[in-house]
Amino acid sequence: MIELDVEQGSPEWVAARLGIPTASQFHRLITPKTRKASSQSAGYRNELLAEWLFGLPADAAKSGYMDRGGELEADAAAWYEMRNDCDTRKLGFALRDDRRVGCSPDRMVGDRGGLEIKCRSAPIHIGYLLGDADEAYCQVQGCMWVCEREWWDFLAYHPLMPAYSARIERDDAFIAQLEIAVNLFLEGMDEMKDKLLRLGCEPRPPQITIDAGMESDASSFATEGHVDAA
C-alpha cells in the first residue's frame, strides 16, 4: 500500500484518484450478493475514460471536490472513538502498489482496522437501520484489500436518529474475486484507451485548480448521481 498525505477533497486528492477505480465504486464492478460481474461496469469505465481524457473528475460540477457530510463526519468519528474507547487517524488516499487502484478511508483504527462513515439523508439512514447496506460491503472489502487490513467498521450516523454500527471482517474469498474483477476492468480500460488514441483523442493533463473555472469547465462533463469519495 502507498499512503498519500493529502487532504480529502483537496485538489491534490482529486488529482490522485483521477481516472482510476476506487473502492466506493467497486459495487459497479462486482455485485456483493451474487459475486458476479456488474452490468454497471461499462458505464463506470466510460466515466473513468472521460476523466482520463479531460483531466477533470466526473462529479466536479455537482458537488465540488466532494460531499462527505462535513461536520457530521467529525461528530460521527468522535462518537465512534468514545463508544469504542479508541483513537482513529485520517488517511488522505491509499493506492495499490501499482498506483492503479485506490481508496479514501474515512479513518484508520489501530494496526488492523478501519472505519467507513456514512452521513446521509434520513431516508437512506433509515435504510441502513433496516439492514440495507449491501453496497457498502464492496467498498469496505475494497478498503481492506488496498489498505491490507483485517476488519473494517461501518458507521451510519444521523444526528436525529440512532447510529448504526457493524464490524465487517475481511473476506479473502470475496477479495480474491474482487481483485480479478478489478484487474479485468483495468485491462479493458487499457484496450479502450488504445482505441481512443487511434481514433485521434488526445488526453489532457489534470485540470485540477481551486478557482471558479474548474466548476464551469466541468459543467458539461459531470455525471448524474452521488459519488462517494472513497
Residue-wise pLDDT tens digits, 58-110 = 765 444 444 445 678 999 999 999 999 999 999 999 999 999 999 999 999 99
Is 32 or 212 the better-scoring residue by pLDDT?
A: 32
pLDDT tier at 206 (50, 70, 90 boundaries)? Answer: confident
Check residue 135 and give its pLDDT. Answer: 66
Is 214 or 98 the better-scoring residue by pLDDT?
A: 98
Count of domains observed in the chain: 1
Check residue 70 and give its pLDDT. Answer: 64
Q: How far apart are CA 163 and CA 79, in angstroms?
A: 9
Mean pLDDT of 121-133: 88
Check residue 221 and give its pLDDT. Answer: 42
**Residue 112 placed within a domain:** yes
Give the closest residue to 7 by CA, choosing from 213, 229, 177, 205.
Answer: 229
The mean of the pLDDT values for the chain is: 86
Give the closest residue to 153 by CA, choosing from 162, 161, 164, 123.
Answer: 164
**Residue 230 placed within a domain:** no
* CATH number of the domain within which 103 lies: 3.90.320.10
**Residue 159 placed within a domain:** yes
**Residue 140 placed within a domain:** yes
**Residue 213 placed within a domain:** yes
pLDDT digits over 141-194, tens only? 999 999 999 999 999 999 999 999 999 999 999 999 999 999 999 999 999 999
Check residue 131 and give its pLDDT. Answer: 82
pLDDT tops 90 at residue 29: yes
**Residue 225 placed within a domain:** no
Check residue 60 and give its pLDDT. Answer: 56
**Residue 82 placed within a domain:** yes
Decide: 171 and 139 in contact? Cβ < 8 Å: no
Decide: 221 and 58 in contact? Cβ < 8 Å: yes
pLDDT tops 70 at residue 209: no
Q: CA of 104: how far to CAs of 8, 154, 170, in Å?
A: 7, 14, 17
Domain of 20 in residue numbering reads as 2-218
Check residue 223 and give its pLDDT. Answer: 36
What is the pTM assigned to this prediction? Answer: 0.83
Maximum separation of any 2 CA atoms in the chain, in Å: 57
Q: How far apart are CA 62 and CA 223, in angstroms?
A: 8
Close Cβ partners of 21 (under 8 Å, ≥ 6 residues apart): 29, 44, 48, 100, 101, 102, 182, 185, 186
